Structure 1
Amino acid sequence: MASKFFRRKKKHFGMPAYLQLQILKQAFPNTKVLKKSWNSFEISIELQPTPLSEKYKIKIIYKRNLYTEVYVIDKILKLAPNRKKLPHVYDSDKQKLCLYSPSKREWKPNMRIVNTIIPWASEWLYYYELWLAEGKWYGGGHNEYPNETLDKIFKDE
């Protein structure tokens, strides 16, 4: 009988970078590889959330077992009226999109980027276009403008 103190923890390794890249290239033949190594890569692809949407070039950085980051790289994203920063991003200046919460483990390194990160980025861009027109973020996640809800409560009184 093994002691609980000496049990090995199972390590869950993410999908190898070469396999993620191969799957991405099959789904998006126009994928441009910017950098690659045995455990990471940087690529750019073009997304268009709806047929009426603009086209956006995004950069995806994948580091096996660590993270996946997504940036809009081909244009400067505009701000909605009366807003000072982009909604739901890690960095407004770098246009680093917030697609999932690492603390909630919504994305794990064994998941396919083509089935998770890319659809999430496309969805983010769709909600960005709505936000640009209306100034309200419909995409969920954390509240970007917490005082806005308080203002509504106090105005209704």
Structure 2
Amino acid sequence: MKESTLNMYKNLLQLNKLEGCRIVAKKRNCFSAELLIRDGRYKIRLDYYATGSPNVYVVSPVIDMSNSLEIHTFGLKFHGAYNKELPCLCLTHYESDKWNSSIMLTESYIPWAIEWTEFYELWLLTGTWYGGGVHPGGDKENE
């Protein structure tokens, strides 16, 4: 069995133990999970592939996308499972974050998504993005 496939199954085992997590699709080389985070205030969809990086979407609540670059998303992306466009979160800095399948989702994408929601709520209150990072498709560091 390839290491990336083995790591996928390790992630599945960990996610099955998480409260508020439901595996909604599973195939030979990918799976999808829905997670309730921040005391159920947010529902996220995580699409994981044995190769490549996961995609994380906010299913609910509705996200203010008036400045999708500032809040570090890839914009709205159509998701066939929901038959609508959902915000796709930018959670890594591709030049410095060398994520790979051996890094568990419970130590990477899931806490990063929780942190994103905290910065998002601050942004709603203040109009300033405190999450830092590089804007998707850009190269300007947000201090």
Q: Same fold (TM over 0.5)?
A: yes
TM-align CA RMSD: 2.4
Q: CA 1:141/1:14 → structure 2, altered by over 3 Å: closer, same or farther?
A: farther
Residue 13 of structure 2 is aligned to residue 31 of structure 1: no
**Structure 1 position 143, deviation (Å):** 5.0
**Residue 30 of structure 2 is aligned to residue 46 of structure 1:** no
CA contact 1:65–1:109 (8 Å) conserved in 2? yes
C-alpha change, 1:67 and 1:75, in structure 2 (3 Å) is: same
Of 99, 102, 118, the match for 1:107: 99
Aligned length: 126
Task: Point out the structure with max Rg over C-alpha.
Answer: 1
- 1:115 and 1:14, CA in 2 relative to 1: closer, same or farther beyond 3 A? farther
User: Which structure is higher in strand share?
Assistant: 2
Deviations 1:79-103 (A, max 9, x none): 5xxxx32310012452101100234
Map 1:1-157 → 2, pairs under 5 A: 13=4, 15-26=6-17, 28-48=18-38, 55-78=41-64, 84-86=66-68, 87-92=71-76, 94-143=86-135
TM normalised by structure 2 equals 0.77
- C-alpha distance in 1, partners of 2:86/2:58? 8
Offset at 1:31? 1.4
Does the 8 A contact of 1:15 with 1:110 survive in 2?
A: no
Aligned to 1:149: none
Q: Which runs of 5+ in 1 are unaligned?
A: 1-10, 147-157
Letter matched to residue 85 of structure 1: N
CA contact (8 A) 1:62 1:68 kept: yes
Gaps of 5+ in 2: 77-84, 139-143
State the shift of 1:113 in Å: 0.2
Cα offset, 1:120, TM superposition: 0.5
Amino acid at match of 1:88: H
Conserved? CA contact 1:70–1:97, under 8 Å: yes
- Same amino acid, percent of matched pairs: 29
The 8 Å contact of residues 47 and 54 in structure 2, kept in 1 or not, is answered as yes
